[in-house]
Amino acid sequence: MADQFLSKTKLTVDDLVTSGDRPVLARFDELRALLTDRAGPEVAGLFAEPLLSRGNDTAAPSVSWYADAKSEPVPLSRVSPAEQSQITAYLSDHLRPLRSLAEEPAHADLVWGALSTYGADDVMVVDGRPVIVNWGLLPGGKGSNVSTRMAHFDATLGRYLLAPVRPQVETATAAPVSAFTPQPTDSPTAPAPARRISRLAWVPLLALLLLSSVVLFWLLQPGTRLFPKQEPLITEQATLEAQHALNDELRTRGDTLQAALDGAVCRADGVLILPNGQTPEGLLPPKLGEAFPQTAEAAPDALLPNTTDRVLVEDPANPETPQSLLRMIEARTVLVLVGTAKGLTAGSGFVVAPGLVVTNQHVIEGAAPGQLAVAGQAVGTPLDATVAKAAGPLSDTGQDFALLEVPGLSAPAFTLFQGAGPLKLNNVIAAGYPGDVLEIDGDFAALQAGDAEAIPGLTVTDGIVNTEQKIGPKTNLLMHSAALSSGNSGGPLVDMCGRVVGVNSFVRKGPLQNRGYALSVGDLLSFLDGTSAAPQLVDSPCQPVVRPFTAAAAPSEPAKE
């Protein structure tokens, strides 16, 4: 089984192209063996490996696509024109052998089935090469309709096999009749002889055309008035340097964990003490035989973070009664619902000021008029939202923010943290509504079906800030280990004192794990400048307060060996 996930496609059973009584997708091993033997492994590698889920009463059938690759998949339509040209040439060259295979009766059903695709972004680019997804499918329940396959093929993968039109060269003896063959002057239908124009009369026009061409050529050059040169703010070199910095931090983190493990001591009462004299949760242990205090201050860079239900934060509405960090996050994080031409999409956001929500620009991109709303435990039933300000995309502008106005939103706002010290190794919580969780969430399915009272639960993950990196003039990132996936975009990254320290924006996929990236609070404040949002800011370092431990104190005598 290939290990790189590419995409997931929801379908109906009638979309499956069949060969005999079996879907073509179920014959993937046979297809790969045939193409490897007759056309070579590179041709076989064009087709992504499918994992078919038949669905059930509540979930529609779907296909997950995988490939042997390392880089993050990108649809062919989103790569540069130069790379599109290279990929198109590669497909034209490597798909050509399938034409002859499709003419063999023994393989025709299988090959034509593999060449049948949905037709929208069915070619992904991974590791610089194309991989075809959504093969073995025809949209609109036409999978069993053999007569539609050829026409659909010509409009999809077939366009990569169209031969260029070559001009036909007439032989010297052909002498075809031309529409410009002069007719006899005595013909009753012959036109009047044309007036000859002197060659000198064309000189001013040719000079004017030449001058216009030079001016147009100059205007089209990057850096001129017509098309000023636009350098991307986020360069590949900056991204590569950020990844190298992250790798260095991960190696350092591994060494730190190993040193803590090697030097840890387990006391007779079961309390584990690290070489720095603290517990793994960053607490100072009580004396042997004594219980932990009712509440205790923990280190923000503890080896292991405390669980969100045990960490206490101050409730602005009731300062004398602290609330759990988890409840505080749930009351301020929202689900962002976006209706686009392609259907409903979802992202995350958080309340930054009364009636105002922050999310990512790419979350609300493509929203149809009147098709933007927020929901969640902090909101209740969905509320309509409008875009007050947006900045993006990230690669071009160095920003990826959107500010939403939500009339009727009464949820409290997060406090933002902007301090002078580094956040590296501080424990953090990522909150939001990841897509891989929403896909199997019954409440979200009911919400999509029109039940406004069905609210999906908030997902929180913990981790540490691995490093802080500047990858552009306006772009500062926090790289962290709290698990993220599609749908977390726009959600808050919160420290153990409940302050927002970043806006989760994207994920880079690795062979073993994903790494999350959040835009810094400083960048968010620059974006909010000039808007009606006036978020509350703090700069004091975090000193988490933890609930009492339930474990009873052990006897004070040392353990016998």
DSSP string over 30-59: HHHHHHHHHT-HHHHTTBPEEEEE---SSS
pLDDT value for 477: 92
Alpha-carbon distance 329 to 309, whole Å? 11
Residue 18 pLDDT > 70: yes
pLDDT value for 58: 59
Beta bridge partners of 106: none
353-395 per-position pLDDT tens digit: 999 999 999 999 999 999 999 999 889 889 999 999 999 998 8
State the pLDDT confidence band at 323, using cuts at 50, 70 and 90: confident
Residue 147 pLDDT > 70: no
Q: Average pLDDT in the 196-207 region?
A: 68
Taking alpha carbons only, the member of 418, 502, 433 closest to residue 466 is 502
Best-predicted range by mean pLDDT (90-94, 316-320, 349-353): 349-353
Half-sphere exposure (Cβ direction) of 461: Cα atoms closer than 13 Å = 19
State the pLDDT confidence band at 530, using cuts at 50, 70 and 90: very high
78-137 per-position pLDDT tens digit: 888 888 888 888 888 888 888 888 888 888 888 888 888 887 678 999 988 999 998 888
If one compares 533 and 19, the residue with the highest pLDDT of the two is: 533
Residue 167 pLDDT > 50: no
Q: Please state, in angstroms and as integers, the Cα–Cα distance from residue 509 to each residue in 65, 194, 475, 484, following that order.
A: 16, 72, 20, 10
DSSP class of residue 76 equals G
Q: Average pLDDT in the 481-509 region?
A: 91
State the pLDDT confidence band at 150, using cuts at 50, 70 and 90: low
pLDDT value for 297: 74
If one compares 315 and 32, the residue with the highest pLDDT of the two is: 32
Alpha-carbon distance 181 to 172, whole Å? 17
Taking alpha carbons only, the member of 53, 47, 51 closest to residue 124 is 47
Residue 326 pLDDT > 50: yes
Going by C-beta distance under 8 Å and a sequence separation of 6 or more, which residues neighbour residue 235?
A: 472
Range from 64-68, 207-211, 414-418, 484-488 carrying the lowest mean pLDDT: 207-211
pLDDT value for 259: 78
State the pLDDT confidence band at 309, using cuts at 50, 70 and 90: confident
pLDDT value for 552: 36
Beta bridge partners of 64: 8, 51
Alpha-carbon distance 73 to 5, whole Å? 8
Range from 181-195, 326-340, 450-464 carrying the lowest mean pLDDT: 181-195
State the pLDDT confidence band at 285, using cuts at 50, 70 and 90: confident
State the pLDDT confidence band at 195, using cuts at 50, 70 and 90: low
Q: Average pLDDT in the 449-466 region?
A: 90
Query: pTM of the predicted model, to two decimals?
Result: 0.54
If one compares 498 and 11, the residue with the highest pLDDT of the two is: 498
If one compares 531 and 117, the residue with the highest pLDDT of the two is: 531
Domains in the chain with CATH codes: 4-160 (no CATH), 324-546 (2.40.10.120)
Say if residues 486 and 478 touch (Cβ distance below 8 Å). Answer: no
pLDDT value for 109: 84
φ, ψ dihedrals at 145, nearest 5°: -90, 95
Say if residues 418 and 521 touch (Cβ distance below 8 Å). Answer: yes
Q: Average pLDDT over the chain, rounded to whole?
A: 80
Dihedral, 19, 22, 23, 27 alpha carbons, nearest 10 = -90
Half-sphere exposure (Cβ direction) of 512: Cα atoms closer than 13 Å = 1
Alpha-carbon distance 528 to 211, whole Å? 48
Q: Average pLDDT in the 483-512 region?
A: 88
Taking alpha carbons only, the member of 351, 291, 289 closest to residue 494 is 351
Best-predicted range by mean pLDDT (107-111, 242-246, 273-277, 302-306): 107-111
